[in-house]
Every structure is written in C-alpha cells, then in structure tokens.
Amino acid sequence: MSEHVSDSTEWQTLQGQAEKFGAVHLRDLFGSDPKRGERLTAQVADLTVDYSKNLVTDEVLTALLALADRAGLRERIGAMFAGEHINVTEDRAVLHTALRLPRDANLVVDGQDVVAEVHEVLDRMGAFSDKVRSGEWTGHTGQRIKTVVNIGIGGSDLGPVMAYEALKAFKSPDIECRFISNIDPTDLYEKTHDLDPATTLFIVCSKTFGTQETLTNATEARNWLLAGLGDGAGADAVAKHFVAVSTNADRVSGFGIDTANMFGFWDWVGGRYSLPSAVGLSVMIAVGKEHFADMLAGYHTVDEHFRTQPLESNVPALLGLLNVWYDTFLGAQSHAILPYSQYLHRFAAYLQQLTMESNGKSVRLDGSPASFQTGEVFWGEPGTNGQHAFYQLIHQGTKMIPADFIGFSKPNHDIGEMHDLFMSNFFAQTGALAFGRSIDQVLAEGTSPEIAPHRVMQGNHPTTTIIAESLTPAVLGQLIALYEHITFTQGTIWQINSFDQWGVELGKVMANQLAPKLTSSSAPAQDDDSSTNALIKLYRSQRGR
C-alpha cells in the first residue's frame, strides 16, 4: 500500500470517474440494465439491502473495491477483530465486537480472556435486571422499582435511549426508563419532578466517571433522592437507589456508590460503541436479558459477515465505500438517515455520534493533514414526518444528499391499513428521488408551461433501501453493527483514527475553566476574547452577579 491512499492510482482513477459522472442518470442506469434492482441487492443477516438506486456504475464499484484493497481494508478488519491497538492515539485495542461474542468463543488480548470477562459482566447484569424486573430488588422503603433513570451523556446516553425507544414493543409494562443527559437543569427537573424517589433507581453511566454533565446530574439526583426519602435516608438509601456503569472503580466509589453495585467495561470499548456493554443496562432491565441477548446475537451475525465476507459481497464495506464515493469524490456534504419506523425516532441522533465523532477528523493516522473531504453530516427523522419537513430540499434543492431508507414489512403493532399506507410512502419516495418527473410528464398532465419547470423533479438522488421483516432486538443489533462497520470502512479508506475524539475533549476542558467566571461575582470576566468577555458580562448581569 502506498503511504497515502489518496496518492494512489486507485484514488486517481476514482477522481477521473467522478469528473465524468455528471452525465450519468439513474434513469439510464436502470433503463440499460433491467435487472439492476436485483443485481445490486445484497443480504446481511435479516437485512435486505438494495443499493441499486445509488449513483454508481459497475466501473465505479470495481474502482472502489480496488481502493479498498489499496487501503488494506481486509487487513484492517482483521487487526480490529484481533484486538490490535489500532486506536493509536490512545494506544488501545478497538474491541466492541468482542462484546457480542458468544460464550464459547475464544479471544485473549493483551493477556486478558476477553470473552470470559464480557460474559461475567453480562451474567451480573442479567441477575440484577431479573431482580429489578421481578420486584425482588426493592428501594429504601421496601417498594419495588418502577422507574429506571439512566444518567449519562454521549455514548453513555444515546445508545441506551435509542435502543429503549426502538424496543418499546418488547419492554416490561411494569418498568419505565428515563434518560437524563444534558447538564441543563431543566432536563433533570423534567425527568424527576413527577417521580417517587422510593420507586426510582438511578444508573449513573459514564465510561470515565469524570464527565461534568453526568457527575453534576448524578450529584443533584442524589440530593433529590435523599431529600425525597426524608429523615434517616443516607448511604444505605443511596446503595438501594444508585448503581454505576463505568470503567473507573475508584471514581465510582469516590462518588459514594458501592462498587458491588457497579457494572464494568473496558477501555477498549469506545463510548459510541458501548451500547452492547454494561452501558445497555437500562435497556436490559426494560426488555429483559433474553431480548438483550438476542440484540447481541444480531450484532454478532453482522460482525461475522464483515469479518469473513469478500469485499465485493461485504455489505458494510460496500456501503462504506459508497459513502466515500459521495463524500470524497462527488462532494456530498451530508447523509440522511430516514427510518420508516417511529420506534427508530432516535436512530439518526444515535448515528450522529457514531459517525461524526468517529470520522470527523482532518488529520491522518501518520499525523499529516487529510487533503480531501472526510466525515459527512448525518441527520434525519423518521418517515413520514421528514417528508412533510425537509424532503423538499432533497427532491428539488441543489445539494446531493445520499439517503438511507430503513423500513419493515411487518409493524410491531398492526392497525387497519396503516402500515401499508406508511410503506407505500417508503417505496414511493425512493422511486421519486431516483427517477423524478420530466418536463414532458409534467406538461402531459396539463400543467401550464410557466408552472411546469417548478414541478419538474430532476431525480438522480441516490438512496439505499434497507428492509427487514420486523424490528426485533436481533434486527436492531444488526442495524447498529452495520453502521459501525460502514463507519470503520470509511475511516480506513481515509486513513484516519475513527476511535478517538480529541476535539470534544478540548470543549470539556474549556467549559471547566470558564465555569468559575460565571458563578463568582468577584472574578472579572476579562481574560477571554472580547466576544466571550462581553457575553459573560451580560450573562452575569442578567443573573444578578
């Protein structure tokens, strides 16, 4: 492999193809190949993935696969699964795939029997969630737990809340979960003000147990609990109502949570990849350990596909390469995630962290600046809500926005004809985006020549359609693993480290430095830039300080 993939002949070939691609239209690609739809459809586990409505020719696909070879994608996949320290800036293995290995698998990394440790924690989580679900685990006053409140942010929040919402059809009717993430006090207030402390269990979820938002929320939640339980409530009550999920036992006990009530994970699990670890405890309590195990098994089937399939039939690799094609070679800036499932209403938000914290990088592994466009902006809303909000811009705007349509043949709740109507929108949209409406069609419908141009849809907007029979825990695991490996593929081609997040770390440090200037009436707000100084002064005066 050449030192920089972007200097390779394979890269140049794709640049050349991109330059002449403006003339290619999906109408022609489908017109000249009646079997394109079937030919460019692949299966990964329970997911049928139709990528035929993407702006690619066979020539481009071949060139993308050659680029993947040049970038050593196969070898990088092997290195990740084997536990090599591919997160070079933190000198860590990247082993979220080990979180879903079956009990009888073998993986020893850095002298650690990874599978045994993973299953030891899963077993403890299972036993604990059984107790909470059955009512055997009681609070300080002897009452059973009715509400589980997860306190965490980023990967310690987005995965659990997304999966909890996605799997609502599988949850216990006796337990509700809530999620506090923002340090905005209104989040804490809204999620607790109508709860009974006696029946509330908090999970303080933080890989580092050093995150300002989470520790502040957890401290205030403990105050709320003790005040609500009244006289006599102290450390014993905290032990009944607070458990922790973290990699840092010292900080957990420093906070006052008994480490007997701590569920651990490891530094080789990145926050945004941590849902299948103990970070998923709230989800396990809601849906039960069996459904959680189904979700892990779903992840694992896609992991195995990614690890073993040749690249030409490797679905995450192909979709990752398509994303590189759009982003780096065709200049697309964003990527829409459009699930036709209300249960997946937090899926795009979840993927934002997964993809943008992973691939929002401009420096390559060797420290040199990337001389090309990397990570896209991921965004989206469930259909059909999105249709009545932003689809107009996708259909007739000036930007290229590749979009993933995710749908299910069977709804979790079937009511009348609703699901068929819902899915008719799903199928109609990808067709309209691809093939549009020509001026001749518009005029033939009787539209006046003055208005006709406004009603023309150029089409040629790329989409990928992902369908499964229904949204089950296993299918959810498959979907998440699919996007994890798409993200990995992109990072590999770009030769960036998809597993650190130094940019976010800077913001955390600066917020901690600024905090005293907001709260103290004596400290002058003068040593920042003129804009920040003025804004802090305004804030302080409005707060009466």
The CB-of-153 to ligand F6P minimum distance in angstroms stands at 5
Q: How far apart are CA 302 and CA 240, in angstroms?
A: 38
Structural contact between residues 328 and 506, judged by C-beta atoms closer than 8 angstroms: no
The CB-of-386 to ligand F6P minimum distance in angstroms stands at 26
Contacts of 288 (CB under 8 A, 6+ apart): 129, 133, 170, 172
Pick the closer one to ligand F6P by CB: 341 or 490. 490
Pick the closer one to ligand F6P by CB: 65 or 281. 281
If you count them, how many residues does the chain have? Answer: 545
Q: How far apart are CA 72 and CA 488, in angstroms?
A: 12
> Two tokens at 38?
């079937």
Give me the numbers of helices (H) and strands (E) for the chain, helices first please.
23, 13
Q: Are strands 47-50 and 41-44 parallel, antiparallel or unpaired?
A: antiparallel
Structural contact between residues 165 and 209, judged by C-beta atoms closer than 8 angstroms: no
119 in active site: no
What one-character DSSP code corresponds to residue 231? T
Return the number of other C-beta atoms located less than 10 Å from residue 368's C-beta.
Answer: 12
Pick the closer one to ligand F6P by CB: 397 or 503. 503
Residues that bind ligand F6P (CB under 6 A): 153-156, 206-208, 211, 214, 271-272, 357, 501, 504
Pick the closer one to ligand F6P by CB: 6 or 206. 206
The CB-of-369 to ligand F6P minimum distance in angstroms stands at 23
The CB-of-58 to ligand F6P minimum distance in angstroms stands at 39
Pick the closer one to ligand F6P by CB: 171 or 272. 272
Q: How far apart are CA 335 and CA 402, in angstroms?
A: 5
The CB-of-357 to ligand F6P minimum distance in angstroms stands at 6
Element (H, E) at 58: helix 58-70
Name the residue type at position 296. L
Pick the closer one to ligand F6P by CB: 50 or 357. 357
The CB-of-129 to ligand F6P minimum distance in angstroms stands at 20
Reply yes or no: is the peptide bond before residue 97 cis, omega within 30 of 0: no
Report the C-alpha dihedral over residues 459, 463, 467, 470, rounded to 10 degrees. Answer: -90
Residue 220, exposed/middle/buried by CB under 10 A (0-12, 13-18, 19+)? middle
Residue 489, exposed/middle/buried by CB under 10 A (0-12, 13-18, 19+)? buried
Pick the closer one to ligand F6P by CB: 155 or 339. 155
165 in active site: no
The CB-of-349 to ligand F6P minimum distance in angstroms stands at 13
SS3 97: helix
Residue of minimal Cβ distance to ligand F6P: 271
Q: How far apart are CA 206 and CA 252, in angstroms?
A: 9
Pick the closer one to ligand F6P by CB: 102 or 210. 210
The CB-of-353 to ligand F6P minimum distance in angstroms stands at 7
Catalytic choice (10, 165, 357, 376): 357
Q: How far apart are CA 394 and CA 402, in angstroms?
A: 9
Catalytic choice (3, 190, 388, 399): 388
191 in active site: no
Q: Are strands 377-379 and 334-339 parallel, antiparallel or unpaired?
A: parallel
Active site residues: 357, 388, 508
